[in-house]
Amino acid sequence: MNLEVIVILGVLLVVAATTLGPKLGVATPLILVALGFGMSLIPFIDAVVIEPEWILAGVLPPLLYSAAVNTPVMEFRRDFGLISAFSVVLVVVTSVAIGFLATWMVPGLPLGLGVALGAVVSPTDAVATSIVRRAGVSNRLVTVLEGEAMLNDATALVLLRTAVAAVGVSISLWQVLGQFVWAVAAAVVIGWLAGKVNLLARRWITEVPAGVALSLGVPFLAYLPASYVGASGLVAAVTAGLVSGFGAPKHLGARERLAERAVWRTVELLLESAVFLMVGLELPTLMATLSNDGTYLGQPLVVAVVVGTAAIAIRIVFVAFALYSLAGRNRRTPRIREQLSQWQDQVAEGQLPPEALPARAGRHWRTLRRGGRPTSTEERQSRWQQLLSRRIADLDYLAAEQFGWRDGAILVWAGMRGALTIAAAQTLPAGTAHRSLIILAATIVAVGTLVIQGLTLAGLARRLGVTSDDNNSNPRQWRILQKELDAAALESLPEPSSADAARVLSKVRERLHQTTRNGAVEAQARQLRLSAVEAQRVRLGELRQLGTYPSAMLDDALAQLDAQQLSIELRQEYD
């Protein structure tokens, strides 16, 4: 069958699965895997063989970039330590443990290839976490799981490359550590530069379609240079997404953000769905190829079951230890918060003792300082207040969103593998010993976790009571936020210089969201309303820095301001 027909049929299946999945109560990715497998059995559809580079270099960079753009940076920062532990320590421990287990199970398997198998099946998949997102769990759980899936790819791919290179060759621990540090550090720098270039370029691009088109190339602008210098292209794409997402409210206009959000949601849907369709399409071809190589289903199935079970067991131990550590930190939170509140009172009275700071205050201070050392007492006082308010907000968030054993169960069961596992396994060089066994075992683990854990995750979340229709529904907090924004808007209004200006200001002050119908007065009122919206947007940026409100609530408020701005601008165009 022609490629064009397969693509068209695939898009139709994506639309059908996306529409029917919620109605059937089955996760859309699982429906897509089944549909892809069904398509592969149709006689007039040719055998499908997908090059792993298409997934690693063509599909994952934009998917990870899109996920990073939409990641709440504030919550990501707060749980960065936990995310890093999941992304690095857990992957390394799991890979090494599975390496020894695999060499014990498969006679003649070198330890390097055993670790390679562990590196392939260790990382959770960013695409698979879409199932977690739709399960309705807490936003903090989603942020941790998505952060883990975005960053653990670098650890796994570096370990895979190193383990394969170590077969028959001695490689020191320092060499491995050096490769990993370079892969991550260089990727972060390149990704940061790509994100900054994107934001700076977008300020000079006035045409919305051109700006959105540029954003589609940013993931590859980060990925390709990083891969060229031996760094992690996927981490570079993630970094570019975090930088772009955090800076978008400041550097992009309302139309650009709305258009880009709509386009990227469509791209994300198509690419994410295409991955699951490809997994189903390739299964029969992969199994037939491996059988021809002399590898049959029995041994890979046993290896996959044992390895998959071991990965879950290690994850259980790791999550239990993480929850124990978080509980100890939470017990210290009231004392630390009380001390911070006392320091905040001292700062309000003009006392700025350098010893009255948290252990990590220096980093926050440098972040808030931006543009040099404060020159006045008032400025120093204001910035110390920002620092302490932000630290208190962090503690309040972590106290309100504490992880219990139920959340730990979801953290364990949501660790699904996906397309990255299959694609990474297929990057093993041709002629590698036991290559067919590793590829088939990895495929079984990926599909098995998607089916078993994916089908049961939503039910487990409901049974444990960790689901919520709206994790950020807090009417009282929303009203407080609106009052802060209205206050910022009123402060931005100038003093009236004439009787007409006084009438305009009176109208705007009465109802900021209502226009008048009197020619010049109406035009002046709209300009003032646009100024008020911009002042509210600036205030939202300040609140995002402090972290006193949930990111999702701030995003809703920003969308509300964008809608108001577009409404005013459209009326101006037609008047």
Place of tokens 């497998």: 37
Kindly state the average pLDDT of the residues 378-406: 81
Of all residues in the chain, the percent with pLDDT exceeding 70 is: 82
CATH number of the domain that residue 449 is part of: 1.20.1530.20
Task: Give the model's pLDDT for residue 496.
Answer: 58
Q: Residues with Cβ < 8 Å from 78, sequence gap 6 or more?
A: 394, 397, 398, 547
Do the beta carbons of residue 403 and residue 323 sit within 8 Å?
Answer: yes
Residue 126 lies in a domain: yes
Query: Which residue in 339, 387, 397 sits closest to 361, CA to CA?
Result: 387
Q: Where are the alpha helices (DSSP H) in 129-172?
A: 129-134, 139-165
| Dihedral angle computed from the Cα positions of residues 163, 166, 168 and 172, in that order, rounded to the nearest 10 degrees | -140
186 and 317 co-located in one domain: yes
pLDDT above 80 for 497 = no
Query: Which residue in 238, 181, 200 sits closest to 62, CA to CA?
Result: 238
Cα 437 from Cα 454, distance rounded (Å): 25
Residue 429 lies in a domain: yes
Task: Give the model's pLDDT for residue 247.
Answer: 87
Which residue, 464, 487, 517, sits at the end of a domain?
Answer: 464
pLDDT tens for each residue of 528-540: 778 888 888 888 8
459 and 515 co-located in one domain: no
Cα 236 from Cα 243, distance rounded (Å): 11
Q: Out of 40-54, 108-122, 300-314, which region has the weakest mean confidence (pLDDT)?
A: 40-54
Residue 451 lies in a domain: yes
Polymer length of the chain? 575
Cα 396 from Cα 548, distance rounded (Å): 9
Do the beta carbons of residue 61 and residue 235 sit within 8 Å?
Answer: no
* Structure letter (DSSP) for residue 451: H
* Structure letter (DSSP) for residue 54: I
What is the distance, to the nearest Å, from the Cα of residue 109 to the centroid of all Cα atoms in its chain? 36
At CA 287, angle to CA 286 and CA 293, rounded to 5? 90
> Range of 341's domain?
332-400
368 and 499 co-located in one domain: no
Cα 71 from Cα 174, distance rounded (Å): 33
Q: Which of 133-147, 280-294, 368-382, 460-474 has the highest mean pLDDT?
A: 133-147
431 and 553 co-located in one domain: no
Q: Out of 126-135, 178-187, 516-525, which region has the weakest mean confidence (pLDDT)?
A: 516-525
Task: Give the model's pLDDT for residue 470.
Answer: 52
Cα 332 from Cα 337, distance rounded (Å): 9
Question: Measured between alpha carbons, how far apart are the two ends of the chain, in Å?
Answer: 54
Place of tokens 């190193």: 162
User: What is the token pair recorded at 113?
Assistant: 């290839």
Number of domains in the chain: 3
- Helix/strand/coil for 513: coil
- Helix/strand/coil for 254: helix
Residue 222 lies in a domain: yes
Q: Where are the alpha helices (DSSP H) in 465-548?
A: 475-492, 499-510, 519-546
Q: Which residue has the higher pLDDT, 103 or 292?
A: 103
Q: Out of 29-38, 181-190, 255-264, which region has the weakest mean confidence (pLDDT)?
A: 29-38
pLDDT tens for each residue of 66-97: 888 888 888 888 888 899 999 999 999 999 99
Q: Is 455 left (phi over 0), alpha (psi -120 to 50) or beta?
A: alpha
254 and 377 co-located in one domain: no
Kindly state the average pLDDT of the residues 156-163: 84
Instruction: Compute the Cα dihedral for 19, 22, 23, 28 and give only its sign.
Output: positive
Which residue, 355, 371, 400, sits at the end of a domain?
Answer: 400
Residue 566 lies in a domain: yes
Instruction: Compute the Cα dihedral for 439, 441, 442, 444 and give only its sign.
Output: positive
Identify the band that residue 501 occupies on the pLDDT scale cut at 50, 70 and 90: low
At CA 417, angle to CA 414 and CA 419, rounded to 5? 135
Do the beta carbons of residue 120 and residue 421 sit within 8 Å?
Answer: yes
Which amino acid is it at 193?
A: L
Task: Give the model's pLDDT for residue 319.
Answer: 94
* Structure letter (DSSP) for residue 231: S
Residue 485 lies in a domain: yes
Do the beta carbons of residue 35 and residue 42 sit within 8 Å?
Answer: no
480 and 569 co-located in one domain: yes
At CA 150, angle to CA 64 and CA 321, rounded to 5? 165
Residue 285 lies in a domain: yes
Kindly state the average pLDDT of the residues 492-502: 62
Task: Give the model's pLDDT for residue 515.
Answer: 43
Kindly state the average pLDDT of the residues 307-327: 93
User: What is the token pair recorded at 47?
Assistant: 């055998």
User: What is the token pair recorded at 252?
Assistant: 């992009």
429 and 540 co-located in one domain: no
459 and 502 co-located in one domain: no
Which residue, 361, 378, 400, sits at the end of a domain?
Answer: 400
How many Cβ atoms sit within 10 Å of the Cβ of residue 446?
A: 28
421 and 528 co-located in one domain: no
pLDDT above 80 for 228 = yes
413 and 396 co-located in one domain: no
395 and 410 co-located in one domain: no
Cα 224 from Cα 388, distance rounded (Å): 40
Identify the band that residue 504 occupies on the pLDDT scale cut at 50, 70 and 90: low
371 and 445 co-located in one domain: no
Do the beta carbons of residue 39 and residue 280 sit within 8 Å?
Answer: yes
Residue 470 lies in a domain: no
